């Protein structure tokens, strides 16, 4: 009988934790090294798409997530002169006809809670990984430990990529945003709203606990945005009167894209934001990482991981390329400014959201159902080993 693999996961973000959960369920011995002493409270990713919900069911966590999140069934799109259409998830070809909204900190908390005590080692930074015969040595300030495999789930800034000698070319998109969460005093309920104005976009999403996320486009990167940035720009562009007293989690972000030319070097494998980054506008980054984690867990739990890892790289890279392309075009369209740009956007989006066959497919498109290899359900046993 083959011995269960011993896997080191560098990084206890959402992707590393989901990978740990899937590996533990499959009988692997897992250690998650997390640099932070306590989990990050930033609410970053909020949209969990139906393919990810299917993966969470395999992880035995679907009910917990559904109980914690808000089900978003419709996203209303507004242009220069009012409504230009709706993206509805009500009729998408999936058992979950919604996108679940849950702040990333809550996702991380649910995943951490699902792991046996001792699996996550907090406050432990990985300072080196070196490959040896049949395994890897992982260095932390506490010493060096041997593992069969190392999964780099340490995000954009993590060092595992460098330890593995895998380069990444980073390119900023040139768009800037500030976001904040507010006590929701609007009547918008569980609906998402996108306001595309000539002066810049405003996006608004429901959150659990009576909160709502507002994201405003800004002309420049504001490393320390004035505290009224979201309140002021939302009022000017949409008329909604938010209050600074209701505000939390004010933070700027300037998205960039990067994609590693390979996800693996020997026994070191990259997963999630360690391997790829795309615009968060469109909400696909963490979801792509969840699909990576599902595939990588399947490979590492196999009697012959080396036979499946080429498919992991091939399928996941293709899926991520598609998601990145969509994120890029979606953001380019959404951030067009000025009267001419806004008129062009209204024309294009109005056409897409109102004309068959596009209109009927937009829900599936934004729910990530049309991304190739969205989950392992879409990969045959033969394709896994080819
Ligand atoms: C504003 C915003 C909104 C977003 N919205 C969405 C959304 O709606 N849907 C979506 O799918 N995605 C969204 N994203 C993207 C999403 O946040 C990321 O894709 C997600 O965080 C990636 O998870 P990860 O676990 O791969 O990496 P990370 O979350 O970056 O986690 C990496 C972890 O590794 C740890 N680490 C780093 N170096 C080391 C080391 N040397 N040793 C030990 N630990 C280390 C870090 O402390 C961190 O905890 C959004 C992002 C932003 C910024």
- My answer on whether 249 and 318 are in the same domain is no
Percent of the chain, pLDDT > 90?
88
DSSP states along 238-255: H-----GGGEEEEEEE--
Q: How many angstroms does the Cα of residue 367 sit away from the middle of ligand 1? A: 20
Give, using CA atoms, the residue closest to atom 31 of ligand 1.
13
Which of 253, 272, 306 is the last residue before a domain boundary? Answer: 253
How many angstroms separate the CA atoms of 157 and 375, rounded? 26
Residue 144 forms part of a structural domain = yes
Residue of 65, 101, 119, 286 best suited for mutating to test ligand 1, as the one with most atoms within 8 Å of CB: 286
Measured in Å, residue 173 CA sits from the centre of ligand 1 at 18
CATH number of the domain to which 221 belongs: 3.30.70.2450
* Total of domains in the chain: 2
Helix axes 285-301, 50-58, angle to 10 degrees: 30
pTM: 0.97
Residue 370 inside a domain? The answer is yes
Q: Is residue 351 part of a domain?
A: no
CB 260 within 8 A of CB 313: no
- Asked whether residue 294 falls in the same domain as residue 369, the answer is yes
What pLDDT score was predicted for residue 281? 82
- Output phi, psi for 132, to 5 deg: -125, 180
- To test ligand 1's pocket by mutation, which of 44, 139, 289 has the most ligand atoms within 8 angstroms of CB? 44
The pocket around ligand 1, CB under 6 angstroms, is made up of: 10-16, 33-36, 44-47, 104, 125-126, 153-155, 158-159, 179, 253, 272-273, 280, 283-287, 289
The pLDDT confidence band at residue 42, using thresholds 50, 70 and 90, is: confident
Residue 1 has pLDDT above 70, yes or no: no
Give tens-digit pLDDT for 267-301. Answer: 999 999 999 999 988 889 999 999 999 999 999 99
Q: Model confidence over 133-161: pLDDT tens digits? A: 999 999 999 999 999 999 999 999 999 99
The closest of 282, 269, 232, 16 to 124, measured between CA atoms, is 16
Query: How much distance in Å is there from the Cα of 289 to the middle of ligand 1?
Result: 9
**Ligand 1 mean position to 278 CA, how many Å?**
12
Name the residue range of residue 290's domain: 6-74+95-172+258-343+357-375
Report the separation in Å between the CA atom of 80 and the middle of ligand 1, taken as the mean of its atom positions: 34
Q: At which residue do the structure tokens 């060096």 appear?
A: 144
Give the mean model confidence (pLDDT) for residues 325-336.
91
Same domain, 125 and 165: yes
């Amino acid at each position: 009988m083959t011995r269960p693999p011993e896997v080191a996961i560098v990084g206890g973000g959402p992707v590393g934790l989901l990978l740990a959960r899937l590996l533990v369920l499959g009988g692997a011995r897992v250690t998650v090294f997390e640099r932070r002493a306590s989990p990050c409270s930033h609410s970053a990713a909020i949209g969990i798409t139906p393919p990810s919900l299917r993966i969470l069911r395999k992880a035995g966590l679907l009910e917990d997530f559904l109980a914690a999140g808000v089900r978003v069934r419709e996203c209303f799109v507004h242009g220069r002169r009012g409504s230009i259409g709706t993206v509805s998830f009500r009729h998408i070809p999936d058992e979950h006809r919604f996108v679940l909204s849950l702040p990333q900190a809550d996702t991380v908390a649910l995943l951490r809670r699902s792991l046996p005590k001792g699996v996550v080692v907090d406050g432990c930074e990985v300072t080196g990984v070196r490959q040896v015969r049949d395994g890897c040595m992982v260095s932390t300030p506490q010493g060096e430990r041997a593992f069969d495999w190392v999964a780099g789930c340490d995000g954009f800034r993590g060092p595992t990529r460098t330890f593995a000698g895998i380069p990444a070319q980073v390119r900023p998109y040139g768009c800037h945003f500030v976001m904040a969460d507010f006590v929701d005093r609007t009547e918008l309920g569980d609906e998402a709203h996108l306001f595309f104005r000539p002066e810049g976009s405003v996006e608004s999403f429901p959150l659990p606990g009576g909160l709502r996320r507002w994201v405003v486009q800004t002309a420049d990167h504001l490393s320390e945005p004035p505290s009224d940035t979201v309140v002021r720009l939302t009022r000017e562009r949409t008329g909604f009167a938010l209050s600074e007293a209701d505000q939390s989690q004010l933070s700027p972000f300037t998205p960039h894209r990067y994609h590693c030319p390979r996800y693996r070097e020997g026994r070191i494998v990259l997963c999630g934001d360690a391997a790829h980054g795309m615009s968060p506008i469109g909400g696909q980054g963490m979801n792509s990482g969840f699909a990576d984690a599902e595939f990588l867990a399947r490979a590492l739990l196999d009697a012959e991981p080396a036979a499946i890892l080429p498919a992991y790289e091939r399928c996941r890279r293709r899926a991520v390329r598609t998601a990145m392309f969509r994120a890029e075009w979606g953001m380019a369209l959404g951030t067009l400014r000025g009267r001419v740009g806004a008129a062009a956007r209204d024309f294009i989006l109005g056409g897409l959201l109102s004309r068959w066959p596009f209109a009927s497919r937009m829900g599936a498109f934004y729910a990530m159902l049309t991304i190739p290899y969205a989950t392992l359900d879409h990969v045959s046993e033969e394709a896994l080993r080819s």
